[in-house]
A and B are shown apart, each in its own frame.
Chain A
C-alpha cells in the first residue's frame, strides 16, 4: 500500500493493496536500488551529522537514521517526484516490513510475546470500542457516508491501510471512499510519526510505555514501526509486537462490519455457518505473525547461537531500513492535501481520541496496575 497516487494506476494499486505489481523481476530493480540508496543515505547521514557536530563543537540532538531515511525519501518524492520506473520496487517496502517483523521474532522470548500480547489485547479491545464509537459518531456528525465512516473507524481504531483494503470487498465500499479513507489514515500516520516521539519524551514515557503507546495509537504498521524506532530500539520492538497483535484482529473486525452491512442489504451476504466465518477470518489474518512466532519459538528454544541471533536481528534492521525509506518515498504530501477536509477532520478526531485513550490505558496499566513485561 502506498500514498503514491500521481495517476490512475497508482490509485488502483493503493486501493487493491498490491505489493507485487509486475511479473517482470527487473521492473522491481530501480525502485529496490532507490530504497537501498535512500536507506544507506539515512543510515550514514546520522553518523555524518553527529561527526560534523562533534568537529564543530555543536550541541545537537541525535537525529536517528529512521528519521533521516524518511526525510530523504519525503524530499525526493515531494520535490523532483518519483518517476514511474521506480514505483514497482518502492511499493515492495511493505514486503520488507513483514520480513523484518518475522526476523524480529529472534529478539523476543516466546513467553514475553504471549504475556505482552495478552496485555495489549485488553488495551486494544478497550481502545477499539471507545475510538470506533467516537469515529462513527464524528463521521455521522460531519455527514460522511456510512461506509466511509466504517472505513475510517476500521482504519483508525484497528490497523490502518491493510484493514481498509481488507474491508473494501467485504462491505462493498466505493473506490472513492476507500481512497479518501486511505489518504486520511496515511496523513495521520505521517503526523503521528513526527509528533508522538516528541510527546513521549516530553511526558517522560519509558521505552516500554512508548512502544505500547505507538503500537496502540499509530494506524499503519510501517508508520508504527518507524514511530517506535524513532523513540528507541526497545520502543520499536514493543511497538511492532503490539501492532502485530492489533493486526491479528483484522479478520474479526472486518467480519463484524461485513455482517452489519450485509444485514442492511448493502453488502454481499457471507456463507452461513461457523466454518465459513472462520475461513473469512483466516483469509484476512496477517500470516507473517505466524512467522514472527515461529522465529521467537526457535530463539526461545535456544536453537540460535548468540552470534546468529545478532545476524538475524541485523536482517530485521536492514529490512526495516528499506521500509523507512519506502515510507518517505511513498508519502506524497500534495496528494494528501487534495483529499477533502471532512474525512481528514474525522480522522484527526480519530487520531486524537485513539492517542489519548491509548496513552491513558498505557499509563493506567503500567504505572497503576503494573502490568506488562519489563519497564
Chain B
C-alpha cells in the first residue's frame, strides 16, 4: 500500500494538475471573482474591511 501510494501520487498529481491546468487560472479567477460578486448581489457577502 505504502509502495503503491508512493508511486501513485505522481500520476495523480499529473492528472490533477492537468485538470486544473486545462480549466486554466483565467477561468478559475473569473469564477471566483464572479462568485464573490454574486454573493454581493444576493446581499450575503460579509463586510470586508480594508
Using a CB–CB cutoff of 8 Å, the interface residues on chain A facing chain B are: 18-24, 94-99, 101-103, 105-106, 286-288, 290-292, 294-295, 298, 303-305, 307-309, 311-315, 317-318
Contact = CB atoms under 8 A, between A and B. Distances in A.
Interface string B24-43: 11111111111011001101
Q: Which 3 pairs, one residue from A and one from B, show the smallest C-beta to C-beta distance?
A: A102-B33, A98-B29, A23-B16
B43 A314 contact: no
B36 A312 contact: yes
A288 B40 contact: no
Contact of B37 (A290, A312, A317, A318): A312
A291 B43 CA distance: 19
Contacts of B14: 23
Q: How large is the interface on B (under 10, 10 to 19, 20 to 34, 35 or more residues)?
A: 20 to 34
Contacts of B49: 314
A28 to B, nearest CB: 11
Contacts of A20: 17, 20-21, 25
A375 B29 CA distance: 31
A291 B48 contact: no
Given A102-B29, A295-B34, A311-B48, 11 more contacts: A19-B25, A95-B29, A101-B33, A102-B32, A288-B33, A295-B37, A308-B40, A309-B40, A311-B46, A315-B36, A318-B48
19 contacts: A18-B21, A20-B17, A94-B25, A102-B30, A103-B33, A105-B33, A287-B24, A288-B29, A288-B30, A288-B33, A292-B33, A295-B37, A298-B41, A304-B37, A312-B36, A312-B40, A314-B48, A315-B33, A315-B48
Nearest to B48: A314
A308 B43 CA distance: 7
B13 interface: yes
B5 interface: no
B contacts with A: majority SS: helix
A98 B37 contact: no
A203 B41 CA distance: 41
Interface string B3-16: 00000010011111
B46 to A, nearest CB: 8
Nearest to B41: A303
B29 A291 contact: yes
Contacts of B37: 102-103, 105-106, 294-295, 298, 304, 312
A318 B36 CA distance: 13
B36 A291 contact: no
A99 B32 contact: yes
